[in-house]
Amino acid sequence: MIESYLDKIQSTARLNAFIQIFGNEALSRAAELDSKKDRPASWGKLYGVVIGIKDVLCFKGHTVSAASNILKVYTAIYNATAIQRLIDEDAIIIGNLNCDEFAMGSSNENSSYGNVLNAIDESRVPGGSSGGSAVAVQADLCMISLGSDTGGSVRQPADFCGIIGMKPGYGRISRYGLLAYASSFDQIGVFSKNIADLALTLSVISGKDEFDSTCSIAEVPDYSNLLSTDKKFKIAYFPQSLEHTSLDPEIRSGILKLMETLKLQGHSLEAVDFSYLDHIVPAYYVLTTAEASSNLSRYDGVKFGYRTPAQVSDLQELYRKTRSEGFGKEVQRRIMLGTFVLSTGYYDAYYAKAQKVRRLIVNKTKDVFKDHDLIIMPTVPSTAFKFGEKSNDAIEMFLGDLYTVYANLAGIPGISLPLFKHSNGMPFGLQVMSDRLNETTLLQFSNLLMENPAN
Ligand code: GLN
Q: Which of 150, 333, 403 to mutate to test the pocket of ligand 1 (most atoms within 8 A of CB)?
A: 150
d(CA 334, CA 314): 25
Domain at 82, CATH number: 3.90.1300.10
**Is 153 an active-site residue?**
yes
Partners of residue 93 on adjacent β-strands: 51
- Is the CB–ligand 1 distance for residue 104 below 6 Å? yes
Q: Decide if 183 is inside a domain.
A: yes
Q: Decide if 10 is inside a domain.
A: yes
3-class secondary structure, 183: coil
Q: Decide if 277 is inside a domain.
A: no
Query: Nearest Cα to 81, choosing from 105, 48, 101, 53?
Result: 53
Contacts of 270 (CB under 8 A, 6+ apart): 234, 235, 236, 237, 371, 372
Q: Decide if 344 is inside a domain.
A: no
Per-residue burial over 50-80, b if 16 or more Cβ lie within 10 Å, else e, is bbbbbbbbbbeebebbbbbbbbbebebeebb
Total domains present in the chain:
1
Q: Decide if 371 is inside a domain.
A: no
Stretches where the chain sits below pLDDT 70 are 453-455
What is the whole-number distance in angstroms between the Cα of residue 228 and the centre of ligand 1?
32
What is the whole-number distance in angstroms between the Cα of residue 98 and the centre of ligand 1?
14
Q: Decide if 241 is inside a domain.
A: no
Domain that holds residue 34: 2-226
- Is the CB–ligand 1 distance for residue 5 below 6 Å? no
Q: Decide if 356 is inside a domain.
A: no
- Asked if residue 90 lies in contact with residue 31, where contact means CB atoms within 8 angstroms, the answer is no
- Asked if residue 293 lies in contact with residue 335, where contact means CB atoms within 8 angstroms, the answer is yes
Q: Decide if 252 is inside a domain.
A: no
What's the farthest any 2 CA atoms get from each other in the chain? 72
What residue owns the CA closest to ligand 1's atom 4?
A: 105
pLDDT at position 453 is 63
Quick: pLDDT tens for 66-102.
999 999 999 999 999 999 999 999 999 999 999 999 9
pLDDT at position 209 is 98
**Is 129 an active-site residue?**
yes
Query: Nearest Cα to 182, choosing from 103, 81, 299?
Result: 103
Query: Nearest Cα to 159, choosing from 45, 73, 240, 248?
Result: 248
Q: Which of 288, 403, 406, 409 to mutate to test the pocket of ligand 1 (most atoms within 8 A of CB)?
A: 288
